[in-house]
Amino acid sequence: MTGDNDGLPMRLTLYTGALSAAWVWSGPVTWGKAADLLLSRHDLSGPVPEPRADGRKPEDAAKLRCPCWSAVGWAEGATRRKAADVASVYALALDYDNGVGPIEAMDRWAGYERLVYTSWSHSIAKPKCRIVMPLAEPIPGAIWSGVYREVIAAEGGQIDRQVIDPSRIWFGFAIGHGGPHYARRRGGALLNLVDLALAVDERQQAEAAEAAAQREARASAARRARAEAERLSAGGEDAAGRLRRRLFAVDADLRLDVGLSAGGKVIDGPDGRMVRRARCPACARPSVWYGVEKGRARCDHVQSCGYGQPDGVRLIEYADAVGFYGGGR
């Protein structure tokens, strides 16, 4: 199918499979060429994997080999998939996995340029599909997650929420389990998310300014606590213990240092910084996590090793358990 928007310039990145962090090709294309590629059918079905004993979704080896794509442009010098290196996003892709079929998905976005194809395990009983719409103007990668959240909220939460990462890759149109499978394209106006992106950017800047003010307030409280430490230096063990508890309550840098000293990694989550994969004092695995600004330490294996059950461990207690006695920066 050809359409009025075939000449729209955009960028596309192609991968050999879902486990690949490096792409096989990335560059400029037109929407017409991109649409032809996305609607290309891949026959890669294999045996249905056996259910897992723990109830989690079994890994499907055939599906993991399915070619994948993303409609993004990368920062100069980028060679591997990484959210921080996404310069711009050129298309909106939405997964419908909760009973919305391809025809209904197309109707929801009637009037816009769009294409739809069924998912790997789509069936009449359990319809699953993906819809893709090119954007009138690309959206900066730095604010894409916020824009995507707004789209999900407007859709009533029926879209898979685990896809806000701008570097997310998508399976191509593949014939897997289930069926019958379906892929179609329809013409229309280009979807314009610029106004939404501007509103998201303004809100994110305000939130960042507020977070910076809160960090400075906590840092100020920590400085006052350290100044008191000098005054209480001759106060004995009880005074030192009280001071240490106060520092853990107000000094986010100190709470962060605990996890880093135990081998943890820092990530930015929806509720602020988090430490993950720190050493567990109970099972010795790199599986403890906690929020830096708030929260208690828990092990991912709490059901087996018991560390953090039921309500988590206070950070000062976790620090003692892993032998951290630093006083912060």
Same domain, 76 and 41: yes
The reply to whether 214 falls in a domain is yes
Same domain, 117 and 46: yes
Instruction: Check residue 96 and give left, alpha or beta (phi > 0: left; psi -120 to 50: alpha).
Output: beta
The reply to whether 205 falls in a domain is yes
The reply to whether 171 falls in a domain is yes
Same domain, 34 and 183: yes
Q: Average of pLDDT values for 99-119? A: 94
The reply to whether 114 falls in a domain is yes
Please compute Rg for the chain using Cα positions. Answer: 25
Q: Average of pLDDT values for 245-274? A: 85
The reply to whether 163 falls in a domain is yes
Q: What is the pLDDT of residues 139-155, one digit of tens each?
A: 999 999 999 999 988 88
For residue 33, list its beta bridge partners: none
Same domain, 144 and 218: no
Cβ atoms of residues 297 and 318 within 8 Å: yes
Cβ atoms of residues 177 and 45 within 8 Å: yes
Cβ atoms of residues 274 and 292 within 8 Å: yes
Same domain, 176 and 229: no
Tokens for 204, please give them.
Answer: 């994110």
Instruction: Check residue 159 and give left, alpha or beta (phi > 0: left; psi -120 to 50: alpha).
Output: beta
Query: In whole angstroms, what is the distance from residue 97 CA to residue 283 CA?
Result: 37
Q: How many CB atoms lie within 10 A of CB 299?
A: 25
Query: In whole angstroms, what is the distance from residue 130 CA to residue 297 CA?
Result: 38
Instruction: Indicate if the pLDDT at residue 25 is higher than 70.
Output: yes
pLDDT (0 to 100) of residue 230: 63
Query: In whole angstroms, what is the distance from residue 75 CA to residue 174 CA?
Result: 30
85-89, 205-209, 268-272: least confidently modelled range? 268-272
Domain end marker among 173, 192, 211: 192
Helix residue ranges, H only, 165-314:
194-231, 236-250, 252-261, 302-305
Q: Is the peptide bond before 310 cis (omega within 30 degrees of 0)?
A: yes
Same domain, 177 and 237: no
Q: Coil, helix or strand for 179?
A: strand
The reply to whether 208 falls in a domain is yes
User: To which H or E segment does residue 143 belong?
Assistant: helix 141-154
Q: Average of pLDDT values for 284-303? A: 89
Same domain, 125 and 179: yes
Same domain, 84 and 135: yes
pLDDT (0 to 100) of residue 328: 41
pLDDT (0 to 100) of residue 302: 81
Q: Please provide the size of the chain in residues.
A: 329
Query: In whole angstroms, what is the distance from residue 289 CA to residue 312 CA?
Result: 10
pLDDT above 70 as % of the chain: 87
Nearest to 92 by CA among 33, 21, 149: 149
**pLDDT: which is higher, 136 or 163:** 136
Confidence band of 214 (pLDDT split at 50, 70, 90): confident
Domain extent at residue 81: 9-192
Same domain, 217 and 310: yes
User: To which H or E segment does residue 319 belong?
Assistant: helix 315-321
Nearest to 298 by CA among 329, 188, 281: 281
Backbone angles phi, psi at 186, to 5 degrees: -130, 145
Same domain, 151 and 282: no
Query: In whole angstroms, what is the distance from residue 320 CA to residue 265 CA?
Result: 19
Q: Average of pLDDT values for 80-91? A: 95
Q: How many domains does the chain have?
A: 2
Apex CA 80: angle with CA 77 and CA 83, to 5°? Answer: 95
pLDDT (0 to 100) of residue 189: 97
Instruction: Indicate if the pLDDT at residue 264 is higher than 90.
Output: yes
Three-state secondary structure along 225-237? HHHHHHHCCCCHH
The reply to whether 78 falls in a domain is yes
Confidence band of 233 (pLDDT split at 50, 70, 90): low
Backbone angles phi, psi at 114, to 5 degrees: -160, 160
Same domain, 162 and 255: no
Same domain, 172 and 260: no
